[in-house]
Structure 1
Amino acid sequence: MSSLSNSLLIPVEVRGMKCLDRKKFSRIVILPILKIPDEKLSKITQICKSYFLKLSNFMPVQILQEKNSENFNKCIYLNPDKVSKWLDISEADRTLLKQLNIADDNFDKKEVQLNYDNFKHDEIFKAILPENEEVVSGFSQIGHIIHLNLRDHLLEYRSLIGEVLVDKIKTCRTAVNKSSFIDNTYRNFSMEVIAGEEDFLVTVKENRCIFQFDFSKVYWNPRLCKEHERILEFLKPGDILFDVFCGVGPFAVPAAKKKCRVFANDLNPDSFKWLNHNAKQNKVNMSLFKSFNIDGTDFICNTFRNFIIDYCNGTEKLENGSKICVTMNLPGMAVEFLKHFVGLIEDEKLKDKFDGRIVVYVYCFALGDDPYSIAKKMVCDNIGADVTSSITDVFDVRNVAPKKEIMRVTFNLTKEILFSSSKKELSGEPPNKKHCKNIIFDN
């Protein structure tokens, strides 16, 4: 789509419109054209391609329906932002066109009727919304739902914005504006339908799996698709995955499909419901899949802990070369749960029996100029010791605001952490006394 930098094509009177009036986009415009013979069409279009007028539902090359035009039966519509006269075409291109007997005489102008259907949503927003202000810079699509986080100055235009998106994006049936803040325990947003159907049940395809869920009640971020894929690439068949904050299963379900053994947990009962639904819909081998609807602390201190104890006692096994992975995708607070791994196993007799490898992928928001150092420090601070030697990777997942990044820190959860009797012992300082299990993690 060519960038329309002025009001040559879109009428100026639509500026500030708050109630969408599609008829106001209808107007007759005068456009530059080149008259060309049909037999030389392919060669001429190659030369003129960069000058084409590109609009929705508009063919830049059309039949020229004029009298006395037998020799020139086609015309190319040119972008008026680039070409208003023959000499606006570069000298090099004019030379090539002259070799095909196309010259100044072939240049002309023609009246054309344009309407709302000829413009894409970004062009319409640029024409309607306030000048010198940020327009609708981006949005996410989750199934048939378009999700926006509109700035305050755009809120009075929200119904119009929603209508335009439902009109212009074929797969969109619903447009919602959501708060940019996740303001409750279950990580779902306050939401307002600004256009279309009030239908929140969506279907999303990701990593060869189909996910269904009620978008108004669970958390889903389509911008994390690539990150889900990256973690799945780290997992191998036979690995064991503990997904502490699993949502509706973007890590857990494809991992189980990959023949990993999965323990998936989410506190949100709606996420738990759709997690199990998605596991069944994707025909996961349920002998490899266990789901939990408990707090992350309980999941770590009971489910994960019991597995490690059983592994040390030989009642749980790891295939040769397999590893235990822990995903903690709750950037707002996941690092706060790291303290529960410190001294998780009290029976020191099991320490020598533990020979497995545990890899933790923990996500956090890093605010500042050096997100890599900030993310490392957050992990160390919450574990209560300098564990930088165990950190194998710090990855910038995506930017969410100026100087605010979602970071993923990957580190090895060592037996020194799991079997430490206190944070002082972990940091190399002699412990004063044995800490009570119930208060060891208080900061």
Structure 2
Amino acid sequence: MLCPPIHYGMTVLNREAFKKSISVLALRTPAKKVKQIQKSMSPDMLDLPRMRNILSDSDSKETRLLLLRHDLEDVSDLSPESKTLIDDEELVVIEHTINLDYSSWSTEQILHAVIPDTIKEIPSAFTQAGHIDTFSHSLTPNPAQMNLREALYPWKHLIGQVILDKNKNITSVVNKLSNIEATFRYFQMEVLAGDTNMVTEVVYWNSRLHTEHERLVKSFKKNQLVCDVFAGVGPFAIPAAKNGVTVYANDLNPESYQWLQANKTLNKISDTKLKPYNLDGREFIRQAVKDLESAGSLDKDGWKMFDHFVMNLPDTAIGFLDAFRGLYRGKRQIYDSLDSPPKLPMVHCHCFTKSDDPAQDIAKRVEQVIGSPYDPSSSKLHWVRNVAPKKEMYCISFPLTPDMIFGPKITGKRTQDQAGSTFSSTPSANVKKPAI
């Protein structure tokens, strides 16, 4: 295989170091027969990326040079068909020098030439996040995101520069430095090469989750009320609002809140369809419920609830489920008095699990936090994706129950909790696993 010069130890890119000259055999061919002979001898023609195998002949305007395979040492090594063609056409075989440089080599070839063989995985893959844009909608290329292993850090800026050079639609290469920060849901990035502007406009905020976004959004019906607790910049909230759903959307991160508002404006969504908040998750759930009631439009029984609560913060969302305990305590009397009690809200809570039995593990954790069991017959456990070896992401969807949202019902001088709750620290035998 043809390779560039080896420069193990190079950590600052020197493009001039990748020049190389090779000698190949060439056929001096009449210009009018070039295409015909090239086609007939295609298996024996030079086949290198970014390298033409038909060149002009400096000795004559009536002929062209057809370059043969770079690994060919003598015409005797050609196929019988090619040798016969050369004899029949009386073609002259000459030597020709090809001058290769940095532009002649692929990303993988350059990186293999500078990173020692002791490091087995040479990076070349990256994620394109969108295109850099300062919200002026100027046409700019895509940033490339990498997750480099620490062993590659000595070459990280060289790697970034090579990827930038070899992908003309990219203006910057960035490297993820840490896991997602729990409070504001961001991870630190460093710019390895190119533009340092990190404001990015994307079709999907997370390309690995766009299928999950679409799945949930399609489950919401027009004119339903959705409470998006950890909305980010709006990957659930924006499409849902555009589909006619009324969304109360929240994120604690001020940057996410700012771009949620910007995305609302960009997508021409009205104030009645999307209401942004910048609060802690628990505080937001309580505030959104109050705001929904004070917004009016209660039914004849004085009833109004959200249809769905979306909790897309898989690392910690389950811990926020305690916000639903007694959330609608003041509505208990109305609920009990109705001949046909209304449907209670559905919760869609994303989470991670490393358990060999995801259904049991998630059920146990959910019920421990929320304080009572959910109804497995009307709930669903949906596998989202594999995050890491033995770490899976799921979405547990379950309806809130009266015991969860109204709090313990008074029975004489004792509450139901005092009399004996149906909740246990592990799923009981009669609690079925949600369907996956």
The one-letter code of the counterpart of 1:28 is S
Contact 1:60–1:77 (Cα < 8 Å) also in 2 = no
Q: Call closer, same or farther: CA 1:53–1:413 in 2, change over 3 Å.
A: farther
Contact 2:177–2:190 (Cα < 8 Å) also in 1 = no
The one-letter code of the counterpart of 1:186 is F
Picking from 5, 8, 19, the partner of 1:15 is: 8
Q: Call closer, same or farther: CA 1:409–1:128 in 2, change over 3 Å.
A: farther
Structure 1 vs Structure 2 CA RMSD: 4.2
* Structure 2 residue aligned with 1:246: 231
Q: Distance in 1 between matches of 2:128 and 2:352?
A: 23
* Structure 2 residue aligned with 1:348: 332
Question: Which runs of 5 or more structure 1 residues have no equivalent in the other structure?
Answer: 1-5, 207-219, 436-443
* Structure 2 residue aligned with 1:112: 98
* Structure 1 residue aligned with 2:428: none
* Structure 2 residue aligned with 1:438: none
State the Cα distance separating 1:116 from its structure 2 match: 1.5
Contact 1:312–1:350 (Cα < 8 Å) also in 2 = no
State the Cα distance separating 1:261 from its structure 2 match: 0.8
Correspondence list, 1:349-364, <5 A: 349-352=333-336, 353=338, 354-356=341-343, 358-364=345-351
Q: Distance in 2 between matches of 1:79 and 1:415?
A: 77
Q: Distance in 1 between matches of 2:408 and 2:234?
A: 34
Q: Distance in 2 between matches of 1:282 and 1:171?
A: 26
Q: Call closer, same or farther: CA 1:168–1:389 in 2, change over 3 Å.
A: same
Q: Distance in 1 between matches of 2:308 and 2:299?
A: 17
1:174 to 2:161 alignment: no
The one-letter code of the counterpart of 1:301 is R
* Structure 2 residue aligned with 1:62: 54
Q: Distance in 1 between matches of 2:346 and 2:38?
A: 58
State the Cα distance separating 1:410 from its structure 2 match: 2.6
* Structure 1 residue aligned with 2:209: 224
State the Cα distance separating 1:21 from its structure 2 match: 0.5
State the Cα distance separating 1:274 from its structure 2 match: 1.2
Question: Which runs of 5 or more structure 2 residues have no equivalent in the other structure?
Answer: 133-142, 422-436
Correspondence list, 1:24-103, <5 A: 24-30=17-23, 37-40=33-36, 53=47, 55=49, 58-59=50-51, 62-63=54-55, 65=57, 75=66
State the Cα distance separating 1:18 from its structure 2 match: 0.3
Contact 1:29–1:113 (Cα < 8 Å) also in 2 = yes
Give the fraction of aligned pairs with identical amino acids, expressed as a percent. 32
Q: Call closer, same or farther: CA 1:313–1:294 in 2, change over 3 Å.
A: farther
* Structure 1 residue aligned with 2:266: 281
State the Cα distance separating 1:20 from its structure 2 match: 0.4
* Structure 1 residue aligned with 2:379: 391
The C-alpha deviation readout for 1:384-419, integer Å capped at 9, x for no partner, is: 44433332232132x332222222223333445433
Q: Distance in 2 between matches of 1:138 and 1:54?
A: 22
Q: Call closer, same or farther: CA 1:193–1:234 in 2, change over 3 Å.
A: same
1:141 to 2:128 alignment: yes
* Structure 2 residue aligned with 1:210: none
Give the alignment's TM-score, normalised by structure 2: 0.74
Q: Call closer, same or farther: CA 1:35–1:237 in 2, change over 3 Å.
A: farther
Q: Distance in 1 between matches of 2:365 and 2:22?
A: 59
1:418 to 2:418 alignment: no
Largest Rg, 1 or 2 = 2
Aligned length: 393
Question: Structure 1 stretch 167-176 or stretch 302-311: which is displaced more?
Answer: 302-311
Q: Call closer, same or farther: CA 1:165–1:38 in 2, change over 3 Å.
A: same
The one-letter code of the counterpart of 2:287 is N
The one-letter code of the counterpart of 2:346 is V
Q: Distance in 2 between matches of 1:386 and 1:87?
A: 81
* Structure 2 residue aligned with 1:330: 313
1:406 to 2:399 alignment: no
The one-letter code of the counterpart of 2:11 is K
State the Cα distance separating 1:324 from its structure 2 match: 2.0
The one-letter code of the counterpart of 1:396 is V
State the Cα distance separating 1:32 from its structure 2 match: 7.9
Q: Call closer, same or farther: CA 1:337–1:10 in 2, change over 3 Å.
A: same
The one-letter code of the counterpart of 1:127 is A
The C-alpha deviation readout for 1:408-437, integer Å capped at 9, x for no partner, is: 223333445433528xx9xxx9521699xx
1:267 to 2:252 alignment: yes
Q: Distance in 2 between matches of 1:377 and 1:41?
A: 73
State the Cα distance separating 1:84 from its structure 2 match: 8.4
Picking from 295, 313, 323, the partner of 2:280 is: 295
Q: Distance in 2 between matches of 1:405 and 1:334?
A: 15
Q: Distance in 2 between matches of 1:420 and 1:104?
A: 96
State the Cα distance separating 1:379 from its structure 2 match: 3.1
Q: Distance in 1 between matches of 2:165 and 2:350?
A: 37
State the Cα distance separating 1:127 from its structure 2 match: 2.8
State the Cα distance separating 1:158 from its structure 2 match: 1.7
The C-alpha deviation readout for 1:69-108, integer Å capped at 9, x for no partner, is: 979x57477686xx9899999xxxx79x78x969999999
Contact 1:162–1:176 (Cα < 8 Å) also in 2 = yes
The C-alpha deviation readout for 1:254-301, integer Å capped at 9, x for no partner, is: 211122111100011121111111101111122211111111101223
State the Cα distance separating 1:239 from its structure 2 match: 2.8
State the Cα distance separating 1:182 from its structure 2 match: 2.4
The one-letter code of the counterpart of 1:9 is C
The one-letter code of the counterpart of 2:54 is Q
* Structure 2 residue aligned with 1:209: none
